[in-house]
Amino acid sequence: MEAGDLAAQLAEIETALDAESYRPGPWERFLRDARSAPEEQRRALEAAITRVGDKLHLRKQPRTLPPEVGLALEALGACAGLILLAAGAATGAAWILGSAAAVLAVALQPLLKTSMGLALGIHYSYAYLWKGEPRFKLQFGSYLAAPVRRRALLHLSGTLGTPLAWLVVGSVARPSSPTLASVLLWLFAGHLLFQAVLFGLAVAGVQRIPFFGPLRLTSPGAAGWEVRAGLAWS
């Protein structure tokens, strides 16, 4: 598809958003066409894609923070989790170790994924809460302009934070709290297996599973979708 056609699609979407007459469908079609376009065409539209993507997302009126503030809060949360881990290791108190696991499981996932995105040249517009979870809104133009392998790697990094927290705390808890350690290590293994299943289903072309929802809204599902799309275009 020509860059002018993509720009025209984007302009129509933005006009509808500004007029508050947008209905679902055109953005998904634009993304499908843009993903298969040459990288230079996607880069030429990077700023406009980000602008329209943000307008589309902000219709949900999330409470937002600058991404730097969001990252700082996540880093503080991770530091608090590490302090609890150190205290739990020193005292052997299972409740402190369990608290460390809970805090690190929440803080490490967005911290690792967002940091990986920045390292890959993928940027963020703002931070927000979604169902109580901290999230970071991609500058979708920079995301779409990145090669498929970088987009897949970004999402795969989002599968590591929570199981890493359980693995680390479970390993530290073994000497003093073997029961807690066993629970955390089983959670680590089960979580990784579940993530691998979601990734495999997405690569196989499954779009959603019953009682769970669209796979593309999960990190392993999004990674699998990007891998599948990359294989189809290669």
CA–CA gap between residue 70 and residue 83 (Å, rounded): 20
Task: Kindly report the average pLDDT of the chain as a whole number.
Answer: 90
- Label residue 200 by pLDDT band (50, 70, 90): very high
The pLDDT value given to residue 135? 85
Question: Which of 68-82, 155-169, 209-223 is predicted with the least confidence, judged by mean pLDDT?
Answer: 209-223
- Residue count of the chain: 234
The pLDDT value given to residue 232? 63
Q: Span 50-66, mean pLDDT?
A: 90
The pLDDT value given to residue 1? 52
Domain ranges (residues) in the chain: 1-61, 65-135+142-233
How far is CA 95 from each of CA 72, 102, 167, 173, 188, rounded to the nearest angstrom?
26, 11, 17, 11, 19
Q: Span 32-54, mean pLDDT?
A: 90
pTM of the full predicted structure?
Answer: 0.87
pLDDT for residue 3 is more than 60: no
CA–CA gap between residue 84 and residue 78 (Å, rounded): 10
Long-range contacts of 66-70 (CB under 8 A, 24+ apart): 66/126, 66/127, 67/114, 67/123, 67/124, 67/125, 67/126, 67/127, 67/136, 69/127, 70/110, 70/114, 70/126, 70/127, 70/134, 70/136
- Label residue 2 by pLDDT band (50, 70, 90): low
The pLDDT value given to residue 179? 96
The pLDDT value given to residue 214? 87
The predicted-structure confidence for 91-133, as pLDDT tens digits, reads as follows 999 999 999 999 999 999 999 999 999 999 999 999 988 776 7
- Label residue 233 by pLDDT band (50, 70, 90): low
